[in-house]
Amino acid sequence: MKRRSFLSASLGGMAAAASGCGASGARLHSGAALAFGTTITVAVLHEDAQLARAAIDAALAQAAHVDRLMSIHDPASQLWALNRDGALAQPHADLLAVLRQAQALSALTRGAFDITVQPLWLAFRQAAERAGLPSAAQQAQGRARVGWKRVVVEDARIRLIGKNVAVTLNGLAQGYAADLALAAVRTHGIEHALLDTGEFAAHGRNQAQQAWTIGVADPRDSEAMAGVVGLDGRALATSGDYAAAFTADFVHHHIFDPATGDSPTELASVSVVAPSAMLADGLSTAFMVMGAKKSHALAATLAGVDLMSINKRGVVWRSPGFPLAL
């Protein structure tokens, strides 16, 4: 899991919702649910409370659907079945969409993004439960099972090539959930909304008639912000070495470089804005692996993509279009 960015100025508008309306007369309505091992939230502005509630419920239902489908922990999920059996017949269209995005990102990043790193995560987690790290042999064994081309995606069937190959979609599923949830809100005629599934998607403006704003956590101080992002129609995702660290010095954590079988060493966090939350989600993970120089170079070639990278010494590098509000 990623440590979440946190709402800042947007929450100020939400807190005032109980006492007043926005300039348009719309009131702010919100809802929350559990998914992806955390609390997801939806906030919408609308004059009609009943319609707003229907939109919120539909958005939360979409996020819950993605969680049920793509959980690596739930034996009822299709992803669990794929990892257990090495194959899955008649995969859901949403699972196919996410797997195809994964393949596209792997090709784009020359393998920096790789959904088959799950064996490495398992090796480190099991070692952490014994208050240690995997041995060189255990790490090599996990790395030998990694390779994005081991996943074969066809309309009627998904296959994993090799023994004990396993897939995680933690680098895409929450972003995809945000995209589906936002689409559900807009289908109900809602023009102003902010969705937080661990990644952020927004549409329209907040109650103060300003851009929805999100505070990005400082990677070394959970009470501080590295910056405040004004969402300009793009989605936001942040990945960091602090989210699920295996060692107190953040050297070993939940993001893995497929080429080395261990965590990347340069960056502490990456925040990405992109046209979709799923793309922002995947790129934030890939950019952690690629490092600042390669990430900024690649982002410059991608329409609508900007990033803020922070290395382990605290050096911040923002691309020219990164929508920093404060």
pLDDT at 24: 58
pLDDT at 23: 45
Look at domain 78-160 and name its CATH class.
mainly alpha
Q: What is the strand order of the sheet 151-153 is part of?
A: 87-89, 157-160, 151-153
Task: Give the tokens for residue 31.
Answer: 């809802």
Q: Is the pLDDT of residue 20 over 70?
A: no
Q: Are 176 and 115 in contact (CB under 8 A)?
A: no
Query: pTM here?
Result: 0.93
Query: What is the pLDDT confidence band of residue 76, given thresholds at 50, 70 and 90?
Result: very high
Q: What is the mean pLDDT of residues 38-64?
A: 97
Among 178, 277, 210, 179, which Cα is nearest to 45's?
A: 210
Q: Is the pLDDT of residue 262 over 70?
A: yes
Q: What is the mean pLDDT of residues 222-231?
A: 94
Q: Which residues contact 110 (CB under 8 A, 6 or more apart)?
A: none
Q: Are 310 and 219 in contact (CB under 8 A)?
A: yes
Q: Is the pLDDT of residue 1 over 80?
A: no
pLDDT digits (tens, 9 = 90+) for 283-321: 999 999 999 999 999 999 999 999 999 999 999 999 999
Average pLDDT of every residue of the chain: 92
Among 161, 176, 162, which Cα is nearest to 105's?
A: 176
Burial class, 183, CB count within 10 angstroms (exposed 0-12 / middle 13-18 / buried 19+): middle
Using DSSP's 3-state secondary structure scheme, residue 153 falls into strand
Task: Give the tokens for residue 153.
Answer: 């995606």
